[in-house]
Amino acid sequence: MISKLYRLEMNENWRVARIVYPLMIFITAGAALLSLLNNPAISGISMFINILTLVFGSIYVIVQTVYNDYHNFQGKRGYLFRSIPAKSSEFLLSRFFYYLSFFLATLIIFTLLFLTVLEVNLEAGVFNIVWIFLSELVFTSGWGIAVSAYILISMLISIIVLIFVITVGSEAKLHRLGAGGPVLVYFIYYLVGQVLTLLSMVFIPLGIRMTVNPLNDSIVNVELVTEGMLKYFLDSLRLTADPEQVVIGIGFIFTQILLAVVIAFLTYRSFDKKFSLRA
């Protein structure tokens, strides 16, 4: 059932993506051919148009992904999905994989095409530089792997948040607001998330201490410490903080994960009460 629901969601947005993705590739190929003319003016204009196409094309696909999900479950196409006898967990998992598919596809296509633009116009071996950066700095370093994992987790949390705001923002008490319901729920989530992030950075005893060279402001050492930013913040107010050391609290990572678990539960409960036909 999950695969059936997934295909139904994918079909609607694929009508947009199958036009936008090839257009992005076609514009990039055209700009690459124009660069062979070795005319700086033409190359500059084509590169500018190419980058704009990639940026707005990617944004458009992501916006349409959210737009279609809203109408599939809460808007004009909701009657179709309401007639499918599936469990709430199946609906929600299909929506999650739907978002993940288009987010990853858009990210990969945008990244590859953008690097192609730089490779062709700058002639600096951009792909080779990126490969060296990833193979020798990111994936061979504990910090690099940790940052990569955090980026992936952040993307997954973003998907959970989008499903949450659309589902809860379309409940009966907010339904009269239309699309304003999800916007209002997202605004509340954002405010709560920012407050919790700030508090966790200050009070949760986990952080990164960076030692800075005062001569050129370069970072000479990074270490994980069991302290938040409270002591560093108070020392800064008293003007007694070590100018060569900076502490950044990272306890917000756990707060974000915990908040994602909470809103996932709230999403399931909201969806289960008003939408799912128990199979």
pLDDT of amino acid 75: 61
- In the chain, which stretches have pLDDT less than 70? 74-86, 123-124, 127, 133-134, 136-138, 171-172, 174-176, 178-179, 214-220, 241, 274-279
pLDDT given for residue 278 in this prediction = 47
Maximum Cα–Cα distance for the chain, whole Å? 68
Residue 248, both tokens: 């950044």
**119-171 confidence digits (pLDDT tens):** 777 766 776 777 776 676 667 777 778 888 888 898 899 999 998 988 887 76
What pLDDT does residue 191 have? 92
Is beta strand 218-225 parallel, antiparallel or unpaired with respect to 245-249?
unpaired
User: Quick one: pLDDT at residue 79?
Assistant: 59
Between vectors from CA 93 to CA 76 and to CA 91, what angle results, nearest 5°? 40
pLDDT for 183: 84
User: Distance between CA 138 and CA 154 in Å, rounded?
Assistant: 18
Q: CA 117, CA 217: separation in Å to the nearest integer? A: 32
User: What pLDDT, on a 0 to 100 scale, did the predictor assign at position 148?
Assistant: 82
Closest CA to 66 of 153, 167, 151: 167
